[in-house]
Amino acid sequence: MNDQLNNKSLIQCSNVNVFYADQQALFDINLDIRENEVTSLIGPSGCGKSTFLRCINRMNDVIDICKVEGSISIDNQNIYDPEVDVVELRSRIGMVFQKPNPFPKSVYDNVAYGPKLHGRILHQEDLDRKVQESLERAGLWSEVKDRLHEPGTSLSGGQQQRLCIARAIAIDPSVILMDEPCSALDPIATAKIEELIDELKSKYTITIVTHSMQQAARVSQRTAFFHLGKLIEVGDTEKIFRSPEHEQTEAYVTGRYG
């Protein structure tokens, strides 16, 4: 399963502390995320998985009371450096949210939004091709090719989530962050998205938050276990699920937690 084990690390997090006002949500996180792999973040609710994920594209900046300390480097550049342009940073990182959140625009406009926003594609034919390619890669093309100009919000929940994935990959990000992308979906839609994640990893570096142990086991090469704001253990997915080093991890992955 894991012959890419020694991929070089793309994202290095060191001593990341996050505070919401006076309350600390993450404690001294040191975690490397490797290129062209799927890393899953697991842990009980409220342990700071989403918070950590949002640190990677600086979405925490949007929350007034949120303060991030420490450093996170992508491609050896500290993204919390004051010189970093957040908008530019986010244009290199795709994000898929727990609840599908397509824009109230047409399917086409949803996917074309990013490329147009960043002015990367100037010709209509190129844009058409990009939209089709992104929808194809998100496994949605065959379902929506005849309804590209219907509102994205009129699709089913699973289709909407794949539309959001298509929207995210249309900007050719190097990293894709997914926060429980399948939590609102049925098993069939979930299977489709898992398949998709597996395909996408050849081109992108993916970090996924999930509450499903099976999902983590199926899609990810590495797994990080969080508990109460601390990173307890990180390692190959196989190892985390088969022989974790920490007792807490074992309790959680075997379902004895709580």
Partner 1 sequence: MSSNNFKKRHRAEKRFKAYGLISLVTAAIMLIVIIGSMIYKSIPAFTNYTLDLEVNMVSQSLDTDIEEINYRGIVRDSFFSLFPEVQDRSEKRKLSKLISSSAGYSLRDFIIENPTYGNKKFYFSVLFTDDSDLFYKGYVDVYLPEDERRLDNQEIFWLTKLQSRGRVESKISRNLFLNGDSREPEVAGFYGATIGSLITIFVTLVLSFPIGVITAIYLENFAIKNRITDFIEVNINNLAAVPSIIFGLLGLAVFINFFGMPRSVPLVGGLVLSLMTLPTIIITTRSSLQSVPPSIREAALAMGASEMQVVFQHLLPAALPGIFTGAIIGLARAFGESAPLLLIGMVAFIVDIPASINDPATALPVQIYLWADSPERAFVAKTSAATLILIGLLIVINLVAVILRKRYEVKW
Ligand X SMILES: Nc1ncnc2c1ncn2[C@@H]1O[C@H](COP(=O)(O)OP(=O)(O)OP(=O)(O)O)[C@@H](O)[C@H]1O
Site residues, partner 1 (CB under 8 A): 57, 59, 62, 64, 87-91, 93-95, 97, 99, 101-104, 113-114, 117-118, 151, 153-154, 164, 167-168, 171
CB distance 41 to 52 below 8 Å: yes
Identify the DSSP state of 52.
H
Residue 113 touches which of ligand X, partner 1, Mg ion, none (Cβ within 5-8 Å per kind)? partner 1
20 binds ligand X (CB under 6 A): yes
Nearest to 237 by CA among 252, 216, 255, 257: 216
50 binds ligand X (CB under 6 A): yes
Q: What three-state secondary structure class fits 137?
A: helix
Residues with Cβ within 8 Å of residue 239, at least 6 apart in sequence: none
Q: Which is nearer to ligand X, 105 or 211 (CB)?
A: 211
Give least dist CB 200 to ligand X, A: 22
Residues with Cβ within 8 Å of residue 118, at least 6 apart in sequence: 91, 171
Nearest to 54 by CA among 24, 85, 82, 18: 18
Give least dist CB 86 to partner 1, A: 9
Give least dist CB 77 to ligand X, A: 25
Give least dist CB 88 to partner 1, A: 7
For residue 156, CA distances in Å to 143, 144, 189 come to: 11, 11, 10
Q: Which is nearer to partner 1, 9 or 153 (CB)?
A: 153
Residue 64 touches which of partner 1, Mg ion, ligand X, none (Cβ within 5-8 Å per kind)? partner 1
Residue 47 touches which of ligand X, Mg ion, partner 1, none (Cβ within 5-8 Å per kind)? ligand X
The DSSP line for 3-39 is S-TTPPEEEEEEEEEEEETTEEEEEEEEEEEETTSEE
Question: Alpha-carbon distance 257 to 47, whole Å?
Answer: 13
Q: What three-state secondary structure class fits 95?
A: strand
Task: Single out the segment in contact with Mg ion by CB under 5 A; choices: 48-56, 86-94, 186-194, 219-227.
Answer: 48-56
Give least dist CB 238 to ligand X, A: 23
| Element at 73 (helix H, strand E) | strand 66-74
Q: Which of 13, 25, 185, 196 binds ligand X (CB under 6 A)?
A: 25
* Subset of residues 91 to 150 that bind ligand X, contact rule: CB under 6 A: none
Residue 45 touches which of ligand X, partner 1, Mg ion, none (Cβ within 5-8 Å per kind)? ligand X
Which chain residues interact with ligand X by CB under 6 A? 20, 25, 43, 45-51, 63
Which chain residues interact with Mg ion by CB under 5 A? 50
